[in-house]
Structure 1
Amino acid sequence: MIGIVTQLAAVIHAKPADVALVFNTEPMVSIAFAWVMLGETLSMVQMTGVALVIGAIYTGARLGASHPLKPLASKGNKDS
């Protein structure tokens, strides 16, 4: 419980890309923990899913680094 509350509190202070990276790697960390600590095994379909997630994170990181998003220009309210 303390870890979840701490993580959610830290999200406020982190960049969106960093938060997305952490949230997208959580399932893989859980799988690794279950494999090491509990002796769980993965099926071929599950391993394929892990490979797809890792590939998507890597691709997203590479594309984000080469094509950073520009902030949207704010449009002021013109009441007059």
Structure 2
Amino acid sequence: MSSLIRKSVQAMSGYVPGEQPKGEGIIKLNTNENPYLPSADVQDILSMINISKLSRYPDPLCVELRKAIAGLHGCALENVFVGNGS
């Protein structure tokens, strides 16, 4: 199996996570953890989401979003471009 992996990849060291603080009353911000629940408004919105669709990729052309943006700004669908930000 190692013959299928480039030498440069084989030479890489594994990921070492940062120090994890322990103890009571510590809020771990170093790992983007949030000790608080979402606000009531966010929880209400989340309760309306069809979670069965979360395991699927969204429409890559974002047609519904582009229609809404085009309608809001009074332009043609073809003039609206959206991307994923990466």
The TM-score, its normalising length taken from structure 2, stands at: 0.23
TM-score when normalising by structure 1: 0.24
Q: Which has the larger radius of gyration?
A: 2
Q: Which has the higher helix share?
A: 1
Higher relative contact order (CA 8 A, sep 6+): 1
